[in-house]
Amino acid sequence: DQYMLNKSKIALMGAFAAAAMVSTGAHAATQTATAEVDIIAAVQLTQDVGLDLGVAASSATAGTVALNSGTGVRTCTGGVTCVGGAVRGQFTVSGATATYVVGITVPASTTLTSGGNTMALSLNPSMTSFTSTGASQIFYVGGVLSVAANQAAGTYTGTYSVSADYQ
């Protein structure tokens, strides 16, 4: 019977060992997490002054009318003669929250038309972004108008979209 008793002990120890190796279930953990968002004021954009390249006279030679967005100085080249003054476009960005960067987007060009006649105007802003101080920020838009030889007389007009938004 000693043999049977030893066999039973070995079987019992094997059962304990097997039970110890069987997983008793994972201990799950739960954590409550947080979420947050800061809403800042929307950027406001207004056009204060429209872009006006003034008066120019064409000739048998093509040329350009250029209005510097930074300085407001206008120059005419080629066969184009500038007459009188010109005014760069002026815009005001307001409502931007301090310390945030505001990007300014102006298209590369637009077309001015008078009846069936057209001219290409390349556009350039005086700035493409700024870091807001919380105060209003003014920027300007100028450009270079391509005037064809013997460009037809008329009042040429066009539009372009300007935007300002957080970057």
- Residue 20: the pLDDT is 56
DSSP string of 97-144, one letter each residue:
PTT-EEEEE--SEEEEEETTEEEEEEEEES-SEEE--SS-EEEEEEEE
- Residue 26: the pLDDT is 73
- Residue 89: the pLDDT is 98
Q: Which of 66, 77, 85 is nearest to 141 (CA)?
A: 66
Is there a contact between 126 and 140 (Cβ–Cβ < 8 Å)?
yes
Q: Which of 65, 62, 113 is nearest to 85 (CA)?
A: 65
Whole-Å CA distances, 37 to 34, 40, 67, 138:
11, 10, 43, 29
- Residue 146: the pLDDT is 98
| Mean pLDDT split into 10-residue runs, the chain, 167 residues | 55 56 71 96 97 98 98 98 97 97 98 98 98 98 98 98 98
- Count CB-CB contacts under 10 A for residue 83: 10
Residue that the structure tokens 């960067």 belong to:
101
Residue 104, beta-bridge partner list: 164
Whole-Å CA distances, 85 to 22, 28, 81:
92, 77, 12
